[in-house]
Amino acid sequence: MPIPLTDLKKQFETIQQEIDAAVKEVLQETKFILGPQVKLLEEEIARYFGTKLAVGAASGTDALVLSLLAAGITNGDEVITTPFTFIATTEAICRAGAKPVFCDIDYETYNIDADKIEAKITKRTKAILPVHLYGLPCEMDKILSLAKKHNLKVIEDCAQAFGSEYREKKVGSLGDAACLSFFPGKTLGCYGDGGMVITNDERIAKTVKTLCNHGSTVKYHYLMHGFNSRMDTLQAAILRVKLKHIDKWIDARIDNAACYNRMLGDNHGVLAPEVPDYTRHSFNYYTVRLKKNRDLVQEHLKKNGIASAIYYPLCLHLQEIYKDLDYHPGDFPIAEKAQDEVLSLPMYPELTGEQIEEITGVIENAL
């Protein structure tokens, strides 16, 4: 049987009755935009993360844009981030009118190297945007200390890190604001697009809420130019069902990662993910490093019906869209090395030990 990168159908089958009931309730209420389920989800997400507030948005990308704008990021500002991430991170910075300034990553974690950030700070720097890549938390103590020293905002990109923890605190609760993505393939995903901003700052939350709704707090009265970025009530209802199961699903992901590690342990051609003992990695993706023969391994997996993916094959500083930033090959050697070596393997709670054994066996044969 083929093994997908993630199996949304199998997960749906385990909660179908709950989903059907939740969707039916929304259909009967007919309050499809900002219905009661949205407010309930916001309250439950804030409780889960230990933040005061949460505001739903139409997507994770919108959540990034909204949080940057609400934090006061504007034209001419600079925001320091990683070149090894999905473009939504830097797209949001640019949509806010600011300039992304890249900083290389740490070799073992793939996250922004906190020890290299200070050298990137200028008088125009207004924020740091760390990305908790694959579900592994960044070195937030160092980042928050730098931010305090230089009076910078910290906006956490938690799109891949729902439920991850740094020193026993949920990532997303540490900076000035954080952004969640509920894209279907995420650890907590809806059945369409959805996102959320979480924060302890009432001003940021109020501004995000206003921006989401065309810049309005009272119907047909406008305070600012905003967006149509309201969360669908149907998606909120679906997420409320899935949120009840999220911790056991994350535990299953962690168990599957440990199983991968054991089965790949003797294979010196494959480096398993590094997980510092003061973090909880939620394993949105299980990503290994292959110093040689990555394309060969991926081709063997494909021939055996096993999905894999490269997150990400070309760093953002080398993308055509950012050529005006005047970066060049070799500017961020650790990130560029990662783009040539990483490979993400199937990862989802319902993945079985037998499937992992099959996957790792194909990799061993390929190597």
CATH of the domain at 33: 3.40.640.10
Residue 307 buriedness (CB in 10 A; 0-12 / 13-18 / 19+): middle
Partners of 128 in the beta sheet?
80, 154
In this predicted model, what pLDDT tens digit does every residue of 181-209 receive, in sequence order?
999 999 999 999 999 999 999 999 999 99
Last residue of a domain, one of 228, 243, 258: 243
Give pLDDT, residue 267.
75
Check pLDDT > 80 for residue 266.
no
Same domain, 226 and 255: no
State how far the Cα of 53 lies from the Cα of 50, in Å rounded to an integer.
Answer: 9
Same domain, 192 and 156: yes
In a domain? residue 360: yes
Q: Record the pTM.
A: 0.97
Find the domain containing 332 and state its range: 246-366
In a domain? residue 3: no
In a domain? residue 1: no
Check pLDDT > 90 for residue 249.
yes
Total tally of structural domains belonging to the chain: 2
Residue in 298, 302, 277 with CA at minimum distance from that of residue 287: 298
Helix-, strand-, coil-residue percentages of the chain, each rounded to 5: 45, 20, 40
Same domain, 101 and 151: yes
In this predicted model, what pLDDT tens digit does every residue of 279-314 receive, in sequence order?
999 999 999 999 899 999 999 999 999 999 999 999
In the structure, what pLDDT confidence band is assigned to residue 344 with cuts at 50, 70 and 90?
very high
Its sign, for the CA torsion 229, 199, 116, 78, is positive
Last residue of a domain, one of 243, 277, 295: 243
Same domain, 93 and 213: yes
